[in-house]
Amino acid sequence: MGWTATTAASDPGYKSDGKILSLKASNETIYKGDLVRINAAGYATVAAPAQYDMFAGIALETVDNSGGSAGDLNVLVLTEGTVTAFQASAAITDVGEPAWNSYQVDAQTILSTTVDPTNSTVKVGTVVDRVFSNYKVPDTTRLRFKMDTFWDVAAE
């Protein structure tokens, strides 16, 4: 399975009034709910992860810069707190595991299985809970994770 570009916005369901930054967008469409990374050129991106990309946070808005040059538009990004993301088979055993965004999925999906961090994979945080539907039934396609962003690492 390879990288699939997202085609629609999703609600990141954040539970924090964390820091929100305005980052220069690369020349692509970034959808609300996308896992945003900083690429080697310093721009916010959601393209397939490259080896040295750093996780920046979750897009709080949709920005279409696909017809412009990198840096023409900014995107608002939540950089701390807990948010929800898709996972193909979310389970209680995922809680406590690292959350990764990989070339194997898309910009709104995490993996909690061990992956090769040198293989176009970016750590985005730690899984803290499952997501439940209105009837307290576990959602088997979504997990909540605490973000571990570049900004946290840079402050250490």
Which is higher by pLDDT, 4 or 140? 140
Q: Which residue range is the domain that position 74 belongs to?
A: 20-155
The pLDDT assigned to 115 comes to 59
**45 part of a folded domain:** yes
Q: How high is the pLDDT of residue 63?
A: 93
pLDDT of residue 3: 45
In a domain, residue 93? The reply is yes
pTM score of the predicted model = 0.78
pLDDT category at 17 given cuts 50, 70, 90 is: low
Residues 6 or more apart whose CB falls under 8 angstroms from that of 28 comprise: 45, 46, 47, 65, 66
- pLDDT surpassing 70 at residue 11: no
Cα angle 114, 133, 15; round to 5:
70
> What is the model's pLDDT at position 99?
86
Q: What mean pLDDT comes out for the span 116-126? A: 73
Count of structural domains within the chain: 1
Q: What distance in Å separates the CA atoms of residue 9 and residue 142, rounded to the nearest whole number?
A: 15
pLDDT of residue 129: 87
Instruction: Judge whether 130 lies within some domain.
Output: yes
Q: Is residue 63 part of a domain?
A: yes
Q: Calculate mean pLDDT across residues 48-55.
A: 77
pLDDT, tens only, 63-108: 999 999 999 999 999 888 888 888 878 888 888 988 888 777 788 8
Domain of residue 119, CATH code: 2.40.300
10, part of any domain: no
Q: What type of residue sits at position 118? A: T
Neighbours of 31 (CB within 10 A): 20
Greatest alpha-carbon pair distance for the chain in Å reads 46
| Within a domain: 3 | no
